[in-house]
Amino acid sequence: MPEQPEDKELLILVEAFEKTLNSPDSAYFNEEQLEDIIEFYMSRNNLKRADIAVTRAEEAFPFSTTFLIKKASLRLMEGRFILAKQQIEKAESLEPLNPDVMLLKAELASQNDQYEDAEQWFEKALQYAEDVNDIYFGMAVIYLNSMRFEKAANAFEKILETEPENIHALYELALCYHESGRYNDAIRVFNKYIDMEPYSSFAWYNLGSSYASKGSPQKAIEAFDYATIIDDGFSSAWYNKGNAQYETGQYELAIESYKKVIILEGDDATTYCNLGNCYHALNLFGLAMGYFKKALKLNPKSSDGIFGLALIAHERQNYDEAEVLLQKAIKQDPHNSEYHGAYGDLLYEKGLPLEAVKEYRAAIELDPDDVDAWTYMSNCYKEEGMLEEACETIMDAIKTIPDEYSFYFMLAANYIEVDQTRAKGMEWLQRAIKKSKDKEGLYKINPDLRDDEQIAAFIKGLK
């Protein structure tokens, strides 16, 4: 969550402890102070210092279960599970009903993918805890560490039932919703958090991320705007704002955002590629090429940089150069569906429709929801007179993306063309219009059919 202001007394305490590390003089710290010092180091992932503090604490308080628990927790953070188990067993022998020990046993079980055992220890800890919210918070952290975001969300929800103003739980809950793909819930909770902490740049940034993931780029831009107003040096917010601006066609504004990222972060191949894409979209090919080349100078294997140059070569009808570059981009990143689709487009323009089919098929295997790849692959077959294959392709497309109604109209047009009785074509046309409510859909696929009186009468007669 966003960093909270440091506790001045805690910082003074830690500073005093630090001085003892390089001095022969000893200083006395009570049990509570040592616990705070250990927590300070662990919260900042400074495991070496935390280990020193735990050792000092054990020497001063050899019979304290608290420091056995801290040591076990530290070993878990280090991934030293056998040692962690030993420490947990020591603590358990002293205080078998200590809920913190049960939480550690749950965490150890979770680390070993023994989730049912972990759940049992959670339930047991809740029975013996004085403050169940401490246990729910511990549960949530363990679930977060094992990437079980829905479970973590449930734990944070339990906390908020009795502590609705617990700002830490609120923020973490929103993040869990985001990671679980529950973007509407994430947006609702981030907004609630922002009502309480309106100047949290992190909260505005994460709200923007949730809007972007939901597919609301303009809302995302507004949230990223607040993040950058609050913190002008928040480079991730500038970068993601640029992405959302690009997505909404605000290319000039996206350029400003990406250039701000360069100012803050320095040269970066990915950001240069994004700038290249913006200038490409504005048809400023010279500037676009300049940025793609800058990206390749920083990272000669940048597939996005190579691909950007390939697209410009293609648009300038330098087909041979474009083909070499596309092949190179695909070699660098063979799992990028966009590269295969673009190579299919190039091969089609070169008069090689069946070669193009191979690339469209590769694109579809990587991204089955690629409407263009399905459409172009069918068109390639049709151009080669392979109407059966063209129709089969569209049938497969409909099975994969049943709500893409253009496929229904394509199939209707194909069957009208192939079948002299037109029965099958009219059947698919009726289905297409019924699903889409669009009586112009067929004409968008084949404008020549607009003058066909039989089709016009058929469409008019549909209710």
- The distance of Cα 189 from the centroid of its chain, to the nearest Å, equals 18
pLDDT score of 129 more than 90: no
Closest listed residue to residue 330, CA positions, set 370, 301, 352, 361:
301
Eight-class DSSP state of 95: -
pLDDT tens for each residue of 60-94: 888 888 888 888 888 988 888 888 888 888 888 88
Q: Give the whole-angstrom CA distance, residue 7 versus residue 421.
A: 83
The reply to whether 63 falls in a domain is no
Which pLDDT value is given to residue 1? 55
Residue at 107 is within a domain = no
Q: Is the pLDDT of residue 322 over 90?
A: yes
Q: How many residues does the chain have?
A: 463
C-beta pairs of 315-324 under 8 Å, 24+ apart in sequence? 315/285, 316/285, 319/346, 319/349, 319/350, 322/346, 323/350
Query: Whole domain around residue 449: which residue ranges?
Result: 405-463
Per-residue pLDDT for 27 more than 80?
A: no
Q: Is residue 461 part of a domain?
A: yes
In whole angstroms, how far apart are CA 245 and each of 20, 221, 255, 288?
Answer: 53, 7, 9, 17
Query: Once rounded to an integer, what is the mean pLDDT over residues 107-129?
Result: 82
Let me know if residue 178 belongs to a domain.
no
Instruction: State what percent of residues in the chain have pLDDT above 70.
Output: 98
Residue 25: predicted pLDDT: 65
- Average pLDDT over the chain reads 91
Is residue 96 packed enough to be buried (19+ CB in 10 Å), middle (13-18) or exposed (0-12)?
exposed
pTM (whole model) above 0.75? yes
The mean-pLDDT minimum among 131-140, 180-189, 302-311 falls in 131-140
Rounded CA-CA distance 130/258 in Å is 51
**Residue 394: predicted pLDDT:** 96
Residue 411 counted as domain residue: yes
Question: Which residue type occupies 115?
Answer: Y
Question: Is the pLDDT score of 24 beyond 70?
Answer: no
What tokens does 7 get? 């506790």
Question: Which position has the higher pLDDT, 48 or 110?
Answer: 48
Question: Which percentage of the chain shows pLDDT scores above 90?
Answer: 61
Mean pLDDT, rounded, for 313-327:
96
Please state the rounded mean pLDDT for residues 385-395.
Answer: 93
What pLDDT is attached to residue 323? 97
The stretch 391-419 carries a mean pLDDT of: 93
**Domain contains 131:** no
Domain assignment present for 414:
yes
Of the ranges 46-60, 126-140, 355-369, which one carries the lowest mean pLDDT score?
126-140
pLDDT at 420 over 80: no
| Domain-located, residue 379 | no
Q: How many domains does the chain have?
A: 1
